[in-house]
Amino acid sequence: MTNQESLESYLNGSKKQLDFTWEVKANDRAYHKQFKKRVAFCLTRKKYEDNAIKTAKYNALTFLPLNLYEQFHRLANLYFLFVILLQTIPEISTLPWFTLLLPLSCLLLLRGLRDLIDDIARHRSDWMINNRPCEILVGKSFSWKKWRDICVGDIVCLHKDSFVPADLLLLSSSEPSSLCYVETADIDGETNLKFRQALLVTHQELVSEASMAAFDGKVTCEEPNSRMHSFIGTLEWRGEKYSLDTEKILLRGCRIRNTETCYGLVIYAGLDSKIMKNCGKIKMKKTKLDRLMDRLVILIFVMLVITSFCLAFAAGFWAVKFHVEHSYLSALYVGTSPAEQAFFAFWGFMILLSIIIPMSMYITFEFIYMVNSYFIDWDLEMYYPAKDTPAKARSTSLNDQLGQIEYIFSDKTGTLTQNIMTFKKCCINGIIYGSANGENKPSVLNYPKASMSWNPYVDRMAEFHDPVLLETVLRNDDLVVREFLRLLALCHTVMVEEKDSELAGQLVYQAASPDEEALVMAARNLGYVFLSRTQDTITLSELGTERTYSVLAMLDFNSVRKRMSILVRDPEGKIRLYTKGADVVILERLHEDGPATAFTQLALDSFAEETLRTLCLACKEVKEEDYAEWSKKHHEASVLLQNRAQELDKVYEEIEQDLQLLGATAIEDKLQDGVPETIQLLKKGNIKVWVLTGDKQETAVNIGFACRLLSDDMQILDEKEICEMLEACWVSHNNLASSGERLCQSQPRSGVLHQRKMALVVTGDFLEKILGTGEKVKRKEGFWTWLACCKAQTQPVADSSVEKAFVDLATSCQAVICCRVTPKQKALVVQLVKRHRSAITLAIGDGANDVNMIKTADIGVGISGQEGMQAVQCSDYALAQFRYLQRLLLVHGRWSYLRICKFLRYFFYKTFAGMMVQIWFAFYSGFTAQPLYEGWFLALYNVFYTAYPVLSMGLMEQDVSAEKSLQLPELYTVGQRDELFNYRVFCVTLLHGTVTSLGSFYIALWAFEDRAGSRVVGDYQSFAVTVATSAFLSVIAEIIMDIKFWTVLTFLTIAGSLIFFCLFSFLTQNFPAFREAPTIFRFPNASQNALTDPYVLAIVLLCVVVNTIPSLTIRLLRVITGAGTIQDKISSRDIRVAESTVELKSHFRRGSLQRRSSYAFSHKEGYADLITRGASLRMKGSRSRGPVNAGSYQSILLPTREGAASSPSVFLKEYN
């Protein structure tokens, strides 16, 4: 197959085309009810979902069967159920059947209650959401209903500050041109406003409830999908078709802002809405140790079967030999052959040895998990007093996995950053203003009121203040400073409102992006106050003097132009162009490079070192004749029907030349406290941090530098380089497929690339093309041709190979940032790393767009921020700040992993040490599956005698303190490498327990030789007590030697175990109890007879000493060789750790002057057009959308994001 054929095959056939079969008819519920879709076989359900959401796993009918089904997915539970069934057979039962049924029932009940409590919380959340009020058009008027009552095709009425209940087609609103402002904080964490606009036909026609009720339009669009930023459809009404796109859609979860009323047609409801399609399903998460335990249960069961079979085989041979040698006892064996005896012996040993996997271990497991979760909840170091928010462990079964994280996938906005922009510095005419590094200059708030009396609009909470600049501004003799501040106050798309207040001049700005608001606020605090705007004027207060500028044109920002300009006529009649944008586009459009230009470039380098977001500012004066000529071209381009945007860009380019540089601004995108330090610590702990964000690439990269995820010594790979490397990986994979080598090891330029650190920065579109994570974008050149050819040959194999190549490349980089990714793409990236790296992953986010990622990762952490609680409700752990993640992982996670591993190791050890004696006893009891120990010892050994010391180890054990854990993050790698509990550790534990059981049994057997006499202790019961006591004390001694962190609880548990052993031995081995129930209490006075004999005590002491010698020897060798002594490592590194800690807290400076152009724009294109058309300006006294009468002036109301419905309005004059 040729490359071209493969390409066509791939592009034409490998991806399913969009199905435009979703039909929505307005005000016609009966139409939608007739449609059904097949679910499975002949089962069908309604095609159009209602608006009720169901995120809970169970209901009243399904809880019991589904929960039991999930619980019996644990192999240990199946094993216990199997043994219980065996115990119900009298012929082979060696223990009462209820001895295992009761613990298993308790275990299932505890886990079931935990799951029930979690699901009740989900039901409560669903109920609260489904019962939110909403106005629905019923008949001829709107009536208040619940969200759950909404159906596809309904028309709903939404008011200011209300949430959008379903995915709606915007029909009209109270704003001019039916604009609707929405905030998507609950979806993507962005707090800046976005606008949506209805079709002109619905805006003009649907002006009353009667017209809404008569509306019978039909929407045809794509089937429900997870593409948040894509919508394609048409509206058919009155014989006409109208195109629909995402700009006309209100997504569920958005919040209406600055719009008193809007109306929408429900397109997707409930689980069909885009945000719910991105949420993913609730998955039962199991830790790595859980999965290992399942495999160990299988291994132990196989060992148990083999051992029982061998012993049963021996029982058969022994029966044959016994029949031959003792034929006079043949009457006892009538009707029972040796084969039958072997068969019954097999099942008897299966039951007798089943306690090698003790059920008490799993019950204790759950208790340890629960208490360690409480330790997280109670940790005051993770308490955030500003919001009175503690850390919360919402899942109690994943604590140990917190100590094994290898990859962290983090959202940006609201997780790493506060989404608050602060004006920090500026450079005007080559001079830098603003606080220097490490200086704390006084804020405006600290200055006397008299010093700021000239500016009643000053924001007294502003952080930026420079006395030198303020003095220059007040002198008003520097033209460049004046033009610089004037540009900040003029060149923007900010809206303004004046609030009624006791203090005059309380202006509230509403910006499409927080960057613009920060710039306008900076100009305002320096005396250049943006007061009001109309369709064609902007009014400023310049040092107390009002000046009105006529707006001739606004040249809007877009991601290609990377700049915005405004053409104004000042009160003196001069025409001036003010431009702001990224340095790379402004500097190349300057009239000439002067000294100020060189100083500004150095200032930009300095700002970049501090990871500030920069903009260059420039202006020029435009002659009247030049403007007249340009205005003609602008008008001609603006009325074109084809290629309008491209022609407008050319016209804009023509006038944005020969600019005079004024200076540059530096804005800080505020990180949350402690983010850089946290990421540095996590990286030292060998944890890789990936940032997955819906924000644009420049912003994400800038944040990457700010939080120290990226550094100057990293090479940031662009898409072209990534394609070349992936293509090399593919060739290498094909050439070396049989070698099993890792992809991306043989690459061109690999020698160059691997000499320095690499960082990967990719976009969502790029991920779509490489991995097919979204809609197919067709490209037919370069890497895409190769990729298509690869995929067309063997689709599943090729897909996997390309994915693996990408993951190999990404994981070999020191940092990865994915920009403009959808919620589903975030989850797919996490899934890729889990699948191809088998790594333990953690996802952390704060918005609804992070829910799918949080559910997909092994551990999900929700930030309880200002963007809502969706992420927290779906998370396993909830934190108030990102910085608490270091303590959650490096302290609680590592401790939990250490405790659980030690708990498992010693629980298995004590079980093997005490219970494998049954196997050795079988060789001396005719392989009859007779228990050696008293029944009460078997029942209490794992419950009272040895459980508590191991439990205290699982609750309180620490190898180092919390402070040392944070100072030595390298210790965290122990969990990543599974060093503390794995197959090797299990085998060593098995061997250790076996040796201990052999020592306890055979030393006692050797000492209890056949002797006669009235005072000789040599009977079966005394022997059993001696072996039991030796095994018990050996286990206690081993635990005592291994405990590193002694507490009062540790002493109490060890003392309690010894007391319980003595107490229960007395209670179960006395003559009164034997007389009452001789079949239950079978060892009367056995311990008293044996343990009062000095000879037996000497045997017990000898057994304990011999059993502890191997452990003492190994520990001595470790001390001599210095291996495994963490305390020594800490002592040798204390000085270096202290130095690194000081350096970590110091100001981060980059050594290179390679400047990054992270320009301070984050709003979308289109706001300038809204303003120049007057589409965003409201008319006074009416919320109607009809034509406005022309008069001497029109009063215009500007929107604000201030949410209270009672917020006052200010009216501005527009002169015609």
* Rounded Cα–Cα distance for residues 939 and 214 (Å): 77
Cβ contact 122:57 at 8 Å: yes
Residue 107 DSSP class: H
* Rounded Cα–Cα distance for residues 820 and 246 (Å): 16
From the list 772, 769, 780, 771, the residue with the least C-alpha distance to 16 is: 772
Amino acid 978 reads D
Angle of helix 795-812 relative to helix 764-771, nearest 10 degrees, comes to 140
Backbone angles phi, psi at 235, to 5 degrees: -115, 125
* Rounded Cα–Cα distance for residues 399 and 385 (Å): 24
Cβ contact 806:812 at 8 Å: no
What token pair was written down for 452?
């700021």
Q: Which residues of 476-502 are buried (b: 16+ CB within 10 A; e: fewer)?
A: eeeebbbbbbbbbbbbbbbbbbbeeee
User: Strand pairing of 660-671 and 688-692?
Assistant: unpaired
The owner of tokens 């406005």 is 1188
Query: How many other CB atoms are there within 10 angstroms of residue 799's CB atom?
Result: 15
Rg (CA), the chain: 38
Strands (E), 239-379: 240-244, 249-250, 255-257, 261-268
* Rounded Cα–Cα distance for residues 1185 and 1202 (Å): 22
Largest alpha-carbon pair distance within the chain?
133
Strands (E), 789-846: 815-819, 841-845
Catalytic residue among 115, 411, 515, 808: 411
* Rounded Cα–Cα distance for residues 1057 and 508 (Å): 69
- The string of DSSP codes covering 1065-1093 is HHHHSSHHHHHH-TTT---TTHHHHHHTS
Query: How many other CB atoms are there within 10 angstroms of residue 192's CB atom?
Result: 21
The owner of tokens 């997780």 is 415
Burial of residue 1131, with CB atoms counted within 10 A of its CB: 0-12 exposed, 13-18 middle, 19 or more buried:
exposed
* Rounded Cα–Cα distance for residues 948 and 455 (Å): 71
411 is catalytic: yes
* Rounded Cα–Cα distance for residues 1030 and 1016 (Å): 19
User: Could you give the strand order of the β-sheet that contains 249-250, starting from the edge strand earlier in sequence?
Assistant: 141-146, 133-138, 155-159, 261-268, 167-173, 249-250
Phi-psi region of 867 (alpha: psi -120 to 50; beta: other; left: phi over 0): alpha
Residue 959 DSSP class: S
SS (H, E, C) 152-208: CCCEEEEECCCECCCEEEEEEECCHHHEEEEECHHHHCCCCEEEEECCHHHHHHCCC
Q: Is the dihedral of CA 340, 341, 344, 346 positive or negative?
A: negative
CA angle 687, 877, 296 (to 5 degrees): 70
Cβ contact 523:489 at 8 Å: yes
C-alpha dist (Å) from residue 599 to 245, 431, 603, 606? 46, 8, 6, 10
* Rounded Cα–Cα distance for residues 985 and 978 (Å): 10
Catalytic residues: 411
